[in-house]
Structure 1
Amino acid sequence: MKAFLDDRQWHHDPKHFMANGKVYPSPEEPRRIEVLKAAAEDAGCAFEAPRDAGLGPIAALHSPEYLTFLRNIYTRWQRIPDAGPEVIPNIHPANRSDGYPKSAIGQAGYHQADTACPIAEHTFEAAYWSAQSAIAGADLIAGGAGAAYALSRPPGHHAFGDLAGGFCFLNNAGIAAERLRAAGLRPAILDVDVHHGNGTQGIFYGRDDVLTVSLHADPARFYPFFWGHVQERGEGRGTGCNLNLPLPRGTDDVAYLAALEIALERVGSFGTEVLVVALGLDASIDDPFKGFAVTQDGFARIGAAIAKAGLPTLFVQEGGYLSPSLGANLTRTLTGFQGG
């Protein structure tokens, strides 16, 4: 299986993460790349750097206003007297229709949903190449490959069209799906991260040409809280093209795989021609977020179940944080898929 990664993805090194009123080191640290790359290679992946497909595939989903913000906000932030080393919002609009300020502080609040997506000097560069890795994978699949893996880091599924959040800046899986749709294919996005892919849902919520399906911890008491509930089915032309499968905290292999069967049935009902898997590995029993209790054997079975769908498949890396089993979980998923 071919895989894609650009070394510039290492350059984003966030320091700030707030939980329960306390500040911690960010769990979305660069060393994830080292662990995930080695694990993918153990599964037989051969890595190459993506070519630069330009801003067009990214701008197909993200507004020019938002991309201008991401490119320039760090430089603008440094002009603020006594500014901190990272762009972190401290005020937010009540609605997306509220006024758009000129202030860097105000724009940070408008374009950053939370304090888990700090922007530093190299954040946009790393996010850009993370997206390019996903685009390269999509192009490979569109060219006839049966499978590919994009080590997209920073991740992307919490990023809306004009809003960063939850470690995410550009919606890599969504960008890949749109690239595949533009190539004449009918894509579905299957999100198996323990957190709901709220940005992905938001981008495609009114559309009927990309199916979005997410298995995740019940957001009634888990991030991202405000999205990911059962009643969110899409709107307008997109009604019925979004499926959320929230599961209880502590969900194990058996219950997870039962939900995955429902998800894959919906993928089949969409007439899907190509599958983008938003591959979060944080459903692991060992993950520091402690949402689910999926084992290494469970990840192998997830990979095998996805393979049985019989679709060209692009795996785009999402969450999964440093733990003793992080690498093994990726290896088992990819080998399970290839064996399935």
Structure 2
Amino acid sequence: MLTFHSDATLRRRALTELDGGQLVTPYECPERVELVLKHVQSRKLGEVREPEAFGLEPVLAVHDRDYVEFLKSCWDEWQALGREGEAIAWIWPTRTMPGRVIPECIDGRLGHYSLSADTSICEGTFEAAEASKDIALSAVKHTLTNGEPSFGLCRPPGHHAATDQFGGYCFFNNAAIAAQYALDQGRRRVAVLDVDFHHGNGTQQIFYERDDVLFVSLHGDPKQCFPYYLGHADESGMGAGMGFNINYPMAPGSGFDVWSRALDDALEKIRELGCELLIVSLGVDAFENDPISEFKLTSDDFSELGRRLGHAGLPTTFLMEGGYAVEEIGINVVNVLSGFDSV
């Protein structure tokens, strides 16, 4: 299986994350990519290739232009103001302050364009996000052109990024950008299957009123798990998109027995709705020892996940989402890809 990767994804090395009332070193770090790449190469899964450069046009097909411009200029503006540390939102539009007008001050704009205080903007953030979406687009282009599976080793991840908001370590929604690209290349309907522990709120928001992308997510119950405010089972789409958004929220502590039943149902829905391409938002943070997640999948379970995805029989692109810097992140990613290839 061809893997796409770029060292440009390592340019973002944030120092700051708000977690448990403390500023800590972020769980999302460059070492995640290095651990995955090490195992991809050691298991000899196939060639590792640099991505093409696609520019911003595919990004603007799913993201707001002013939002993209904000991400591009934020760090330089922050530095020009003499701010110390990294750019982190500390006030947001809320139910009682709906944010009808976007503020001019950068603090107000940070709140407008962010959804959580876990994600700072630092040097290299925009460049890494650009490289990450190029990886996703190169991977899906390879699958569309050659009919072969591909793996995009994306970083930053993408599935929490909405039309005009970043958070959860995500800036550009790589899976959404790739799905839209596939539609623009002539596919009628694309499935995005999100197996990250955390709900892909951004992907849901982008496609919620559309029937050309089926979004299916297996995740921790939002009553207890980040991102909390989206991902309930009764969120099934709106307008033309009714029935094309399917959520499988599960209780923290769920193991593969529960999780795999949701997976099998999800794959059946993907078949029933006639999807022509499968994009897998490949979070491996459902792993039992992931530091910020609460499912109980084992490394062997990820091999079985890959086999079941392979049996779906669809052209498939895998795009890296979550899974944090423990050694098993690489083992679990490679187990999924190897399991898929074994079918």
C-alpha RMSD of matched pairs (Å): 1.2
Give, in whole Å, the separation in 2 of the partners of 1:85 and 1:130. 24
1:75-113 residue CA offsets vs partner (Å, 9 max, x unmatched): 1111334x1321100111126662111111111110111
Instruction: Tell me the equivalent position of 2:170.
Output: 168
Instruction: Tell me the equivalent position of 2:253.
Output: 250
Q: Does the 8 A contact of 1:279 with 1:318 survive in 2? A: yes
Give, in whole Å, the separation in 1 of the partners of 2:46 and 2:268. 28
Give the aligned length: 339
Instruction: Tell me the equivalent position of 2:22.
Output: 22
Stretches of structure 1 lacking an aligned partner (at least 5 in a row): none
Q: Does the 8 A contact of 1:40 with 1:334 survive in 2? A: no
1:149 is aligned to 2:151: yes
Identity percentage over the alignment? 38
Q: Secondary structure at the match of 1:307?
A: helix
Instruction: Tell me the equivalent position of 2:185.
Output: 183
Give, in whole Å, the separation in 2 of the partners of 1:162 and 1:43. 39
Instruction: Tell me the equivalent position of 2:46.
Output: 45
TM superposition score normalised by structure 1: 0.97
TM superposition score normalised by structure 2: 0.96
Stretches of structure 2 lacking an aligned partner (at least 5 in a row): none
Q: How far 1:17 moved relative to its partner?
A: 1.3
Instruction: Tell me the equivalent position of 1:125.
Output: 127
Q: Does the 8 A contact of 1:146 with 1:311 survive in 2? A: no
Instruction: Tell me the equivalent position of 2:305.
Output: 302
1:162-207 residue CA offsets vs partner (Å, 9 max, x unmatched): 1001000000011111111111112100000000000000000011
Instruction: Tell me the equivalent position of 1:7.
Output: 7
Give, in whole Å, the separation in 2 of the partners of 1:279 and 1:292. 15
Q: Does the 8 A contact of 1:43 with 1:332 survive in 2? A: no
Q: Does the 8 A contact of 2:99 with 2:112 survive in 1? A: no
1:61 is aligned to 2:69: no
Give, in whole Å, the separation in 2 of the partners of 1:290 and 1:66. 29
Q: Does the 8 A contact of 1:12 with 1:30 survive in 2? A: yes
Q: Secondary structure at the match of 1:78?
A: helix
Q: Secondary structure at the match of 1:143?
A: helix
Q: How does 1:200-215 map to 2 (within 5 A)?
A: 200-215=203-218
Q: How far 1:55 moved relative to its partner?
A: 0.8
1:315 is aligned to 2:318: yes
* Segments of 4+ moved more than 4 angstroms: none
Structure 2 counterpart of 1:7, one-letter code: D
Instruction: Tell me the equivalent position of 2:262.
Output: 259
